[in-house]
Amino acid sequence: MTDTSHENHHTENVQAHLKQVEALLHRHALVEEVAHKQELPRQDRHALVDTLLHKQHLTELQLKLESLHPADIAYILEALPIEQRLLVWDLVKSERDGEILIEVSDSVRESLIATMNREELRAAAGQLDADEIADLAPDLPQNVMRDVFKSLSIEEREHLRAAMSYSEDSVGALMDFNMIHVREDVTLEVVSRYLRRFDKLPDHTDQIFVVDRDDVFKGVLPINLIVVNEPEMLVRDLMLTDTIQLHPEEKADQAAQAFERYDLVSAPVIDEDKKLTGRVTVNVVLDFIRTESESDLLNQAGLREEEDIFASVWKSAKNRWTWLALNLCTAFFASRVIGGFEDTIEKFVALAALMPIVVGIAGNSANQTTTIIIRSLALGQITQGNARRLLIKELAISAFNGIVWGGIAGLFAYFLYHSVPLGVVMTSAMLLNLIVGAVVGMAIPLTMQKLGRDPAIGSSVMITAITDSGGFFIFLGLATIFLI
């Protein structure tokens, strides 16, 4: 437990604890079912709260909510339909609004902020640190941000300005300012006395930072070293100077890689003048990695962003449109390719039944290749030297798969339609299309990477477009030449 302010929210055992939160969610859902059945318009929600029966339930619920960690309340809010979500949100003590807004997902945060007035938002933001306000900033109205800014101290304003000046995928966006710093010419005794002035140290303080008079970073002093060494030792003699340092403009995923490789709990962030400007902690990195991997999965299915499961139909539909529109265009194109061979199909209608096999398998195989390549790119395993080697390997796999699966498909076609040439055309088309798939499956993510774009976004739609249209063209083209 690093956050000593929350330990009262943890029950004995995590399984039991999570179950209890879930049970609360269900029980609450029940309470709300009653409210919902009365079908009160949204404006009367407050009136409802005042009815006697509900008052009792709600008071009990409120007590429960008070004892929960903000992350648990965030979880409950995310899992509730909008009506019930807003009712729970009303029950949460307003002094906890800030910490909960930080925990919920972007889309749910939007739905909560939409119900709050300027004063409530200002108060919520006022409960937060500068780096947390920066996270909230894109969702807050301009005038609220102005109010918040005015209410901050000069140091906090500088922190907020710093945190907001870095792009979303940079180390600066992950950084917080809760670092403790000491000078190098003092003893551990002095450091300990200084630390004892804190009621508690900031979360994830596994090390304190050593700086000079001008805030120039000198090194780090792990808390563990304070504990295992004699009090009269000097910071200078114990501090570690050759440790990982982050720069605010660095890519966040490089920082995440460093946390993973070197098992860090926190790392200092140093600006170009070598001054200590902040720190990054492992919990933020954990959230970052989780969010990144989720957006990879969402992007693969063509979802622009994370979807609040209770968002409106219209909002959800819009989130899925770009992808469907793109797919419709490529499908139209593939359809025209087939249209060009209508005479052939008319003469040999079996082709219509067999052609989806040719394109389907190649599309799957190409997407396997792309998945491997995108992963290897992300891990930095692809160099100029080995790219050619990889291409040869992928081609070999496709050729091999083409002979095996194409052969089976060819036999399938032969047994169904009793035509040897048809079987041969089928096998050849599958072999060729699998090879096309391997080439584009490698070339597209590599090209996107070279152009500085994320290879995980949109690769699969392009690849499927090519294996579809290409497959129809190869199969129907071969059939036109050899069967007609």
Q: Which span (51-59, 113-121, 153-161, 391-399) binds a second copy, by CB under 8 A? A: 391-399
Which of 150, 213, 261, 388 contacts a second copy by CB under 8 A? 261
**How many residues does this entry show for the chain?**
484
Q: Mask: binding to a second copy, 138-177, rule CB under 8 A, as x and -?
A: ----------------------------------------
Q: Binders of a second copy among 322-361, rule CB under 8 A? A: 323-325, 327-328, 331-332, 334-336, 338-339, 342, 345-346, 349-357, 359-361
**Any residues with CB less than 8 A from the CB of 79 and at least 6 apart, and which?**
25
Nearer to a second copy, 147 or 250 (CB): 250
Q: Which is nearer to a second copy, 140 or 276 (CB)?
A: 276
Q: If binding is defined by CB under 8 A, does position 195 make contact with a second copy? A: yes
Longest dimension (CA), the chain: 95
Q: Which two tokens stand for residue 370?
A: 């792309």
Task: Report 65-84 residues binding a second copy (CB under 8 A).
Answer: 69, 71-72, 75, 78-79, 81
Between 97 and 468, CB nearer to a second copy: 468
Least separation in angstroms between CB 328 and a second copy = 6
254 is a site residue for a second copy (CB under 8 A): yes
Q: Tell me the per-residue interface mask from 6 to 25 with a second copy, x by CB under 8 A, - otherwise.
A: xxx-xxxxxx-xx---x--x
Nearer Cβ to a second copy (152/397): 397
CB of 56 to a second copy, least distance (A): 21
Q: Whose Cβ is closer to a second copy: residue 47's or residue 396's?
A: 396
CB of 145 or CB of 361, closer to a second copy = 361
- Closer residue to a second copy (CB): 130 or 456: 456
Residue nearer to a second copy on the CB measure, 148 or 246 = 246
Binding a second copy by CB under 8 A: which of 119, 262, 305, 481? 262
- Contact, 46 vs 73, CB < 8 A? no
* Strand 217-222, strand 207-211: pairing: antiparallel
Q: Does 42 bind a second copy (CB under 8 A)?
A: no
Shortest distance in whole angstroms from residue 157 CB to a second copy: 26
The single residue among 101, 134, 258, 431 that binds a second copy, judged by CB under 8 A, is 258
Contact of 203 with 129, CB cutoff 8 Å? no
Residue 456 DSSP code: T
Q: Based on the number of CB atoms within 10 Å of its own CB, is 387 exposed (0-12), middle (13-18) or buried (19 or more)?
A: middle
User: What is the distance in angstroms between the CA of the first residue and the CA of the last residue of the chain?
Assistant: 75
Within residues 282-311, the interface with a second copy by CB under 8 A covers: 282-283, 285-287, 289-290, 293-294, 296-298, 300-303, 307, 309-310
Residue written as token pair 């307003």: 94
Q: Are 252 and 292 in contact (CB under 8 A)?
A: no
Residues of this chain, 392-421, that bind a second copy according to CB under 8 A? 393, 396-397, 400-401, 405, 408-409, 412, 416
Cβ atoms within 10 A of the Cβ of 230, count?
8
Q: How many residues contact a second copy, by CB under 8 A? A: 154
Q: Does the protein bind a second copy through residue 383 (CB under 8 A)?
A: yes
How far apart, in whole angstroms, are the C-alpha atoms of residue 119 and residue 136?
A: 15
CB of 48 to a second copy, least distance (A): 19
- Contact assessment for residue 179 and residue 278, using Cβ atoms and an 8 Å cutoff: yes
CB 323 within 8 A of CB 124: no
How does DSSP assign 142-208, residue by residue? Answer: HHHHHHHHHHS-HHHHHHHHHHHTS-TTBHHHH-B----EE-TTSBHHHHHHHHTTSSSPPTT-SEE
Q: What is the DSSP string of 215-259?
A: -BEEEEEEHHHHHHS-TTSBHHHH-B-S---B-TTSBHHHHHHHH
Nearest alpha carbon to residue 351 among 366, 340, 363, 362: 340
Cβ closer to a second copy: 148 or 436?
A: 436
CA 49 to each of CA 87, 475, 481: distance values in angstroms, whole numbers, following the listed order: 9, 67, 77
Is position 31 an interface residue for a second copy (rule: CB under 8 A)?
A: no
Q: Based on the shown chain and the rule CB under 8 A, indicate whether residue 272 belongs to the binding site for a second copy.
A: no
- Residue numbers 220-249 binding a second copy by CB under 8 A: 220, 222-230, 240, 242-247
